[in-house]
Structure 1
Amino acid sequence: MAGRVARAPRAAGLRRLASQSKAAAEAAEQELNWDEFFRLRKQRRLWERLAALPCAMLGLGAGSAVFATLPVNPQQTFMGIDPLVLFGGSALFCGMLGFVAGPSVGRVWYRVASNKDVARMLDRKEAEFFTHVRANRSDPSFSSARNPLPDFYGEKINSLSAYRRWLRKQREHERKGTFKLGTKK
């Protein structure tokens, strides 16, 4: 009996040590590296783009169903516009509204389909990424017709090399905006 009592604290200590090492391993796994972040970001954008088409079709179908049931008097116009043209345009507007709302629906679908921890890590890394973008982007007051602002929000950045390219473009934009064109006189 005394042997069992002596082992119990040791076993509890081993379990505690194992749980601490497991927690440390999970914390290391939860740190998302930049390559993985860009891969997940590209995957989320694909979901957003693919959701736009079904949402547009759903909006067009719902708008068509609603406006097809309304009574039409062809001899009466609405602000000088034929009611059939107005109802058709309204149904198309519902489709466009669905297309615009589609990426938001796609983002929600992605969050539901993916692991919650991965979605949280992606959100944290995205906030860190936009902090980097905000700190390194060029001043928009340097923009002109001959010197347009390159990718203000960094939306086209999809890899580390693209980020470095974006940094070079920002520095070039700032250099041109301050009239340091590097020409020899």
Structure 2
Amino acid sequence: MDSCITRGIRISSRNTARVVRRTPFVFSRGNSSATKAKPTPAPSKTQPEAVGELTWPKYLAIKRSKRTWQTAVAIPSSLAGLAAGALYFGNLDTDPAKLIFGIDPFFFYGFCTLGTFGLGALIGPSVGTALWRSTHRRLLPQIDAKDREFFRRVAKNRVDASLQSPAQPVPDYYGEKIGSLHQYRQWLRDQAKYKRKALLPEE
């Protein structure tokens, strides 16, 4: 009887060991299936917005706005330069008896003040161009390409500089005043008219 009990204990221990050995395998399969079933989030891709083609009317309008920016910044820049020069040179101690480069100090400082006004007028358009370019960053490659094409057309159709005279210069030699297709056609007519007058002077 003791042998039967001992044999039963051995059989039960073997079955328990089998269950214990199989249990991790069952759980591992469950985990692997759960891992496989879990969806992986797809990476989000942000596509840049398409930029439309830059037409000639739109380009000329943008070119006209560039001159507006330059003028709008040049005016306050010139006034700021004039005010800064007047404030600085006006507060300097001057001795009328001591000339500066052979010039009266008041006249010399006055010329220097006008120089600061001119310096502000020169800096203003550059600052305006930088601000204008910052507002058209998306279109800059197309604008630069149109600029090259525009100046190529201007150089091709304008009057030869050797035909002009100091009394009658070529009208808008660089095409800076062109701001629309109508103005471009008028510019072409003006160039042709000037060329006819230069080559066929009236007697």
Sort the TM-score into its range (normalised by shorter chain).
Answer: 0.7 to 0.9
Within 5 A, what are the aligned runs for 1:2-17? Answer: none
**Aligned residues of 1:57 and 1:98 also touching (Cα < 8 A):** yes
Residue 149 (structure 1) aligned with residue 170 (structure 2): yes
By percentage of residues, which structure has more helix?
Answer: 1
User: Which position in structure 1 is the counterpart of 2:153?
Assistant: 132
User: Which position in structure 2 is the counterpart of 1:95?
Assistant: 117
Query: Structure 1 residues 159-168 or 55-64, which shifts more?
Result: 55-64
Structure 1 gaps, min length 5 = 1-18
TM-score by length of 1: 0.73
**Aligned residues of 1:150 and 1:169 also touching (Cα < 8 A):** yes
TM-score by length of 2: 0.68
User: Which position in structure 1 is the counterpart of 2:62?
Assistant: 40
For 2:123 and 2:187, the matched residues in 1 are separated by: 29
Count the aligned residue pairs. 164
User: Which position in structure 2 is the counterpart of 1:7?
Assistant: none
**Aligned residues of 1:56 and 1:97 also touching (Cα < 8 A):** yes
Q: CA distance change for structure 1 residues 32 and 61 in 2, over 3 Å: closer, same or farther? A: same
| CA deviation after TM superposition for structure 1 residue 116, in Å | 0.7
User: Which position in structure 2 is the counterpart of 1:117?
Assistant: 138
User: Which position in structure 1 is the counterpart of 2:75?
Assistant: 53
Structure 2 gaps, min length 5 = 1-46
Cα deviations by residue, 1:148-181 (Å, 9 ceiling, x for unpaired): 4222111121111211121122222223332287
Q: CA distance change for structure 1 residues 179 and 119 in 2, over 3 Å: closer, same or farther? A: same
CA RMSD of aligned residues (A): 3.2
Which is greater in Rg?
A: 2
Matched letter for residue 164 of structure 2: S
Query: Structure 1 residues 144-153 or 82-91, which shifts more?
Result: 144-153
Match of 1:74 among 78, 86, 96: 96
Q: CA distance change for structure 1 residues 149 and 63 in 2, over 3 Å: closer, same or farther? A: same
Identity %: 36
For 2:82 and 2:171, the matched residues in 1 are separated by: 35
